[in-house]
Structure formats: C-alpha cells, structure tokens
A = this chain, B = another copy of it.
Amino acid sequence: MASDAQVPFAVPGVTRPGGRTARTRERVLDAVASLLLDGGYEAVTMDAVAALSGVHRTTVYRRWRDTGSLLADSLDAAREHPWEPPDTGSLLDDLVAINRQIAAALTEEPSITRALVAASFRSPAAAHALRSFWENRYARAAVAIERAVRRGEAVEDIDARTVLIASCAPIFYELVLMRSPMPEDIAERYARVGVAVAAGCAGGR
C-alpha cells in the first residue's frame, strides 16, 4: 500500500521483524494507510481499521484508542524507519537528492504523505506526530551539512536546520499549500538556496 522506497517524508510499510505484537501493528497500520489513501481522514474509523486489518476490534481500541492515535502511530512508525541522507560528495547534490525525495513523496499518486499532511489539519495527535517525524528527518540530515563544513562548502557555525529548511520548505510550500504544477527544476533551484545559506551568504546562523 504505502511505497517501499526509502523516501524521507513518506510512510513506508512497517516491515521490521518482530513477534505477534509487531505483526499486529503492521497489519493495523497498513489498513490505516489504505483507508487514508482511499477515503481520506473520514475513512479511518476504528471499525473500518479492525475490519480491513482482520485484527480484533477490542485489540484495536485497546492499543490505539482513536483515529488520532492510529495516524500518530503511522507517523511514529515512519520515523522509526531507517533513513539516512544521501552522501554524494557535494552539498548541492545531497540537497537536490533530498528535495527530489520530498517531491516524489508529495506527487506520487496516491500520496500517503499528502494524505497525512491533510489529516494533520483534523487531528492534533497527527499534527504533533508529523512535526516529530520531520524534526527527526532534519536531525538525521544534519550530517550532510557537517560533511559540507569539513569539505569547506559550509561555514563552521552554520545552523544545519536553517540550511535544510531553506532548501526544503519551498518544496513543501509549492506542492502542498500552493498545489503548484511542479516546475521541473524546483529540487535544484531551492537546493542552491540551501547551498548559499550554508556558505554564509544569508548571515552566520
């Protein structure tokens, strides 16, 4: 259901090995993703999740309680999924690759990422989990900026998160909020902005 590609802002299937509890979670979260993609937030009811997953209603209610918890756990599962930023040898290419991953996750049809962003406007629990998910990705991606500092592409005291937001936020804004037709060069255009910020062109931090 959910894409298996290791895109940083998508929700891949929960495929970790584990016992019965892990398998139950995997079935439930697969059902959540499927219902969300097919029918949006409204389709993710506890009963529909139980029916589609084949997991007993009582178990679903006991472990997740409500739709918000199901959505939040989907994002938590995505956050736990291994992801590392690309290491291409240049900051520009690393940022381009990250932006392309984001753009791919937001424009695939159907897009679980877009569906979860939409759900975050309905559920405070999903909104909170979405933020944790993204902050986790930015924290993991900081290594790309550390490598750039060692290569002399970035100034010493630069704030990695600011570089990443400068590069990534326009992609989210254009594709999620503006719903713009995707300019072909959008990933590269704003990756260059991130590179300029890293080089200190927009001030120290």
Candidate in A121, A174, A196 with the most chain B CB atoms within 10 angstroms? A121
Contact between chains at A189 and B162 (CB < 8 Å)? yes
Copies of this chain, how many?
Answer: 2
The closest CB in chain B to the CB of A188 belongs to B203
Q: How far is the CB of A205 from chain B (nearest CB, A)?
A: 8
Q: Of A25-33, A54-62, A164-172, which stretch is located at the interface?
A: A164-172
Identify A176's interface contact among B134, B162, B177, B179, CB under 8 A.
B177
Residue of B nearest to A195 (CB): B202
Q: Check: A2 CB closer than 8 A to any chain B CB.
A: no
Contacts of A178 in B (CB 8 A): 130-131, 134-135
Roughly how many angstroms separate A103 CA and B54 CA in the complex, as a whole number? 46
**Which residues of chain B have C-beta atoms less than 8 A from A162's C-beta?**
189
The number of chain A residues touching the other chain, given as a range, is: 20 to 34
Q: Which residues of B contact A135 (CB under 8 A)?
A: 178
Report yes or no: A172 in contact with B165, Cβ–Cβ below 8 A: no
CB distance from A6 to the nearest CB of B (A): 21
Residues of B within 8 A of A196 (CB): 193, 196-197, 201-202
Residue of B nearest to A171 (CB): B169
In the bound complex, what is the Cα–Cα distance between A166 and B166 (angstroms)? 7
Chain B residue at minimal CB-CB distance from A172: B173
Per the 8 Å Cβ criterion, residues 150-205 of A in contact with B are 162, 165-166, 168-170, 172-174, 176-180, 189-190, 192-193, 195-197, 199, 201-203
Residues of B within 8 A of A203 (CB): 189, 192
Q: For the complex, give the distance between the alpha carbons of A95 and B111 in Å.
A: 33
Specify which of B118, B127, B174 is in contact with A165 (CB 8 Å cutoff). Answer: B174
Q: Which 6 A-B pairs have the closest CB atoms?
A: A169-B173, A201-B201, A196-B201, A169-B170, A192-B202, A118-B121
